[in-house]
């Protein structure tokens, strides 16, 4: 593994742990040359379905695009890198479980929305504002009100159970 600081091709593993519910290995590494430390995540590679965009265009699934979208929504939120990696893994697993060769971008967006809702409500609203193309503050208010109503109904259901 090349060092991200000095590009030396060798590093040593200091610590290895399971991450993303055991589907990844988190490795803490130290560069042999500059002694800087960095973290890598190792996971198996699975073929993802192609994405059908809203305009009908068909393109390969881009994990980095998904990662950037999540990172943007989660910017300055109290969420760890391990939580983000686990969420990315879960989203990809859900997409794979659909069992389709092609998946509509709308379906992927909805899966991401569900994952962000469970992870961080502020990140969920941030993502929703771009995903649903909010045009004004009223759109934010409406979405937040729906979210609060959903939370209240879940709380009431838990009280009855």
Using an 8 Å Cβ cutoff, are 136 and 128 in contact?
no
pTM of the model: 0.67
**What would the DSSP string read from start to end of the chain?**
---TTT--S-EEEEEEEEETTTTEEEEEEEETTT--EEEEEEE---PPPEEE-TTS-EE---HHHHHHHHHHHTTTSS--HHHHHHHHHHHHHHHHHT--SEEEHHHHHHHHHHHHHHH-HHHHHHHHHHHTT--SHHHHHHHHHHHHHHHHHHHHHHHH-
Q: How confident is the model at residue 143 (pLDDT cuts 50, 70, 90)?
A: confident
Beta partners for 31?
11
pLDDT of residue 68: 95
pLDDT of residue 10: 92
Q: How confident is the model at residue 72 (pLDDT cuts 50, 70, 90)?
A: very high
Please determine, for residue 44, whether its predicted confidence score (pLDDT) is greater than 80: no
Q: How confident is the model at residue 27 (pLDDT cuts 50, 70, 90)?
A: very high
pLDDT of residue 34: 96
Looking at every residue in the chain, the average pLDDT score rounds to 91
Q: How confident is the model at residue 157 (pLDDT cuts 50, 70, 90)?
A: confident
Over residues 102-130, the pLDDT tens digits come to 999 999 999 999 999 999 999 999 998 98
Phi-psi region of 100 (alpha: psi -120 to 50; beta: other; left: phi over 0): beta
């Amino acid at each position: 593994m090349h060092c991200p600081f000095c590009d030396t091709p060798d590093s040593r593993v200091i610590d290895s742990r399971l991450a993303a519910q055991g589907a990844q290995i988190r490795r803490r590494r130290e560069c042999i040359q500059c002694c800087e430390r960095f973290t890598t995540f190792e996971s198996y590679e699975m073929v993802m379905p192609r994405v059908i965009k809203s305009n009908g265009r068909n393109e390969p699934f881009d994990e980095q695009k998904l990662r950037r979208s999540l990172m943007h929504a989660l910017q300055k939120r109290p969420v760890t890198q391990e939580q983000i990696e686990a969420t990315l893994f879960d989203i990809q697993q859900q997409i794979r479980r659909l069992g389709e060769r092609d998946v509509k971008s709308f379906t992927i967006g909805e899966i991401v929305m569900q994952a962000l809702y469970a992870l961080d409500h502020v990140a969920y609203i941030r993502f929703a504002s771009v995903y649903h193309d909010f045009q004004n503050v009223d759109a934010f208010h409406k979405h937040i009100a729906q979210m609060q109503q959903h939370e209240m109904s879940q709380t009431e259901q838990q009280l009855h159970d």
